[in-house]
Amino acid sequence: MSRIDESAPAGPVRADVEEAARRLSGQVVRTPVLRSPAIDRLAGVRVLIKAENLQHGGSYKMRGASLAVGRLAAGGHGGVVAQSTGNHAVAVALAARRHGLAATVVLPADAAPTKVARARAAGGRIVLADTAAERLALTRELSAATGHPVVDAYDHPDVIAGQGTASLELIEDAERAGTPLDALVLPVGGGGGAAGACLAATGRPIEVYGVEPVGCDSLARSLAAGRPTPVPPAPTIADGLRPSCVGELPFAILRTALRGVVRVDDEQIGAAFRLLLLELKVLAEPSGAAGLAGALRIAADGRHHTVGVVLTGGNVEAELVARLAADRLADVPSVEGRAA
């Protein structure tokens, strides 16, 4: 069984992101673009941050899920199945409830309790599995048993196009403000958001970069190998950035459109988290803060004037917030790679 639902359109292009933006108008929040003088000084460039932590469901995953689930609802499907490390599951459950569809979501056994609770509160039926391979197998089994199509977290054209609308809005808002982007940075898990960003930036002089946690760098290794390459994910505080392998559909886009990949460690992610919290008064999850951590490294090369960052989500545990804010990273348990 293909991980990409057969009822979905073929691989997306820039026009699909633009069409997604039109279809999602009024369904998702056009989140604000934020800027901090302190962050600009630290980076040495202008840094524009797209606050998708303020999106419905707490992450930009709501965009792709809304587009994909809406299309399936219009096609007469009665339910959907999805698997993810958290935010995509929340978004699919919310989108399914909006359209009156059933939603079954498969999550890691050690998924962040906040994300599990949000998915359950949205009406999702929660199923837990230990490893990425088990989650994928269970998702296929549930789809076959129910007849409900799979909405993949990143290997789905509607998800890529929907996620790309966040980058498109950031690009447009920067241009309207007279500060057009010359670089755009996104955290990478399965690669759908970064692929959507590349599509949104098509035709503009914008370099798109992906950011991965050290040891969870399937995209970087895949680009070097010339094919999607799985990795056994290392422990990381960025729980949303640990799929074992970049998606085939995102990789087909990223292999030629992405400027490069930056690896960041937990110390750098924690420092970016504190910058966002203390300078912008914005609460991000570590997976979202990884984007700013990568942007600070990219800005150091001195080639850019305006760097855009999609702050992908803000669903984070209160205890983790307290520990990261207090700069006690040594006390923060990393997410174990076994459940990636």
What pLDDT, in 10s, does the model give residues 129-181? Answer: 988 889 999 999 999 999 999 999 999 999 999 999 999 999 999 999 999 99
CA-wise closest residue to 289 among 257, 258, 261, 321 = 321
* 5 pLDDT higher than 80: no
Residue-level pLDDT at 10? 60
* 338 pLDDT higher than 60: no
Q: Provide the CA 26 distance to its chain's centre, in angstroms.
A: 21
Count of CB atoms within 10 A of residue 10's CB?
A: 9
Average pLDDT, the chain: 92
Residue-level pLDDT at 37? 97
Average of per-residue pLDDT across 213-222:
96
Summarised one tens digit per residue, pLDDT across range 100-131 is 999 999 999 988 899 999 999 999 999 999 88
DSSP assigned state of 4: S
Residue 132 to residues 56, 232, 325, 331, 335, Cα–Cα distance (Å): 26, 10, 30, 26, 14
Residue-level pLDDT at 243? 83
Average of per-residue pLDDT across 83-102:
96
pLDDT confidence tier of residue 8, bands split at 50, 70 and 90:
very low
pLDDT confidence tier of residue 85, bands split at 50, 70 and 90:
confident
Average of per-residue pLDDT across 32-46:
97
**Measured distance CA(238)–CA(263) in Å, rounded:** 12
What 3-state class would DSSP assign to 139?
helix
What 3-state class would DSSP assign to 98?
helix
* 328 pLDDT higher than 70: no
Residue-level pLDDT at 333? 55
Residue-level pLDDT at 340? 33
* 55 pLDDT higher than 80: yes
CA-wise closest residue to 163 among 176, 148, 174, 152 = 152
Helices (H), ranges, 122-247: 132-146, 157-176, 192-200, 218-225
Summarised one tens digit per residue, pLDDT across range 231-278 is 998 999 999 998 889 999 999 999 999 999 999 999 999 999 999 999
pTM of the model: 0.92
